[in-house]
Amino acid sequence: MKQNASNTPGELHVLLQILTKHGSSVEPKPLYCALSLPGRNMIKPKPVIAWFRQDLRLSDNPALSAAIGMGAPVLPVFVLDDDSAGEWSAGAASRWWLHESLASLDTSLDGNLQLFRGRADLIIPELVEKTGASGVTFNRCYEPWRVNRDRELMNRLRDRNTFVGCHNGSLLFDPQSITTRGGTPYRVFTPYYRKGCLEGAPPPRKPLEPTPVRRFSDAAGGLPLADLELMPTRRWYDGMARAWSPGEQGATLRLREFLDNGIAGYADGRNVPAQAFVSRLSPHLHFGEISPNQAWYAAADCVQGGALRDDLDVFRSELGWREFSHYTLYHYPELPHGNLQRRFDRFPWITDRKALRRWQDGQTGIPIVDAGMRELWQTGYMHNRVRMIAASFLVKNLMQHWHHGANWFWDTLVDADLANNSAGWQWVAGSGADAAPYFRIFNPVTQGNRFDPDGEYVRRFVPEIATLPDKYVHCPWDAPANVLADSGVVLGETYPTPIVDLKASRLRALAAYREMPG
């Protein structure tokens, strides 16, 4: 029987070179198997499973490129694995985003994305068995539950002599490759980023050229998107839908908008919540609709000839902070639960459910904190400067455990990321790697006056006090009675009185930090 031209020894030799180039560790089985049909024998190509995870894009996707390079039909697969994720299954806002992003990816794949729900370590081998797939390719993830599951899955597939291609498609620098001279993980950002990454590691790989998927497998059996039950039952997500465009196309447009209008002045402007200097790429990066490599090099391309070098350096260092969070989670998998500085295990946190609820609802009586919490609820996002202010207020002024804040952000942020969320909250609390010193307590009035001097951000999200003069918009409790009356503000009725006294609560927190054992 005459072989298909793509099954020649020369082509298979090239294929093996491609697989080696992409980091494959197991030789693939033959790509074709004979099927017996009435009256004739035919050759049916064996598919390669491209397992999408937090890389919901076609461009610069190493795992997808490797699958395409194998020359066989590609079976694109996504598995919603809440069973393995357990408590870290996606929150409500993230699930809305995931629904929209999967719909976008399916459109890009001409309706060929196969969706499944359940334990991926069981579903993927079942698909291999069902379809006769010659291999599985995927990009690495670094959450502890995914690391453990993927290790078991790879062993299971390799025991079946199934080719496994595992790639880095989500980070600039692989966490396993960056260590101190002593071979230990870095715990401070600046030496990690400057010495470990920029000086001690190869430059981030350049984005891969897009490779179209020319052949899809005809294997079926996936679920309709609606059966993943990602969409909330109540339409509270309308504000998020107006604010965001999930998917690879939306990510590309968002990056272009930032480079055209945001990166000039980014170094200072990124701290001003009312202005459009921040990239707002975080949810697109989390879901892998765009790679950090694309952002890293696209930013450099628009900063030619030395102009805006400071802005580029600061933007890249923010990508570096994302890397450091994933690096820390990889080396310290207890990060989401346990204090990296164990003396914080004995910190005298206060349990006050009413205070926590007022913080969640944006009803603390502290304008910039309330503005941030309301922005979060309405849009699924909060400006990074305001995140630090709101978080500091919760853990230091209210002395609530950082777990409460991390859990709320996990459920309400569209960019909820286990590494960034856990590391960020531990940084503010002072308990993490490279944490803020205990005496750093953000004064929300000072921060508001500095970064929102005309109150534009506060007025946008706290309209009850929008008519107050700039002098009092961040501290309405200081406004004279006639000013409050002229502005139609009645503290305790139209807008809450402060939940705590800022000065007294700061002193209380400082005393608790100083007296902490160890």
Instruction: Check residue 222 and report its DSSP letter.
Output: P
Measured over the CA atoms of residue 295, residue 300, residue 302 and residue 308, the dihedral's sign is: positive
Find residue 37's DSSP bridge partners. Answer: 40
Alpha helices in 176-281, H assignment, sequence order = 189-190, 238-243, 248-261, 266-269
- Cα separation, 404 vs 407, whole angstroms: 5
Which two structure tokens, joined as six digits, stand for 446?
């000072």
Residue 384 has what pLDDT?
A: 96
Predicted pLDDT at 10 = 34
Domains of the chain: 5-170 (3.40.50.620), 171-208+241-332 (1.25.40.80), 342-515 (1.10.579.10)
Other C-beta atoms closer than 10 Å to the C-beta of 464 total 18
Distance (Å, whole) CA 93 – CA 91: 6
What is residue 24's predicted lDDT score, i.e. its pLDDT? 38
The angle subtended at Cα 350 by Cα 344 and Cα 351, nearest 5°, is 120
Residue 6 has what pLDDT? 34
Considering only CA atoms, give the Rg of the chain.
Answer: 26
Integer angstrom CA distances of residue 416 from 67, 94, 177, 277 = 29, 7, 26, 21
Q: Which residues are catalytic, by number? A: 318, 321, 349, 384, 402, 425
pLDDT in tens, 307-332: 789 999 999 999 999 999 999 999 99
CA distance 513 to 507: 10
Which residues, including other chains, have CB under 8 Å from residue 304's CB and lie 6 or more apart? none
C-beta of residue 74 within 8 angstroms of C-beta of residue 178: no
* Distance between CA atoms of residues 10 and 127, nearest Å: 29
Tens digit of each residue's pLDDT (9 = 90 or more) over 211-222: 888 899 877 789
**Per-residue confidence (pLDDT) for residue 305, from 0 to 100:** 65
Residues 6+ apart with CB under 8 A from 411: 91, 92, 93
State the Cα–Cα distance between residues 46 and 134, nearest whole angstrom. 6
Low-confidence ranges of the chain (pLDDT < 50): 1-42
Report which DSSP code applies to 463.
G
pLDDT value at residue 41: 39
Residue keyed to tokens 């003396």: 343
Could you give the 3-state DSSP secondary structure of residue 166? strand
Contact (CB, 8 A) for 177 and 201? yes
pLDDT at position 43: 54
pLDDT of res. 436: 75
Q: How far apart are CA 236 and CA 238, in angstroms?
A: 6
Element (H, E) at 402: helix 402-412
Identify the pLDDT of residue 2: 31
CB within 8 A of 51, min separation 6: which ones?
63, 77, 78, 79, 120, 124, 136, 137, 138
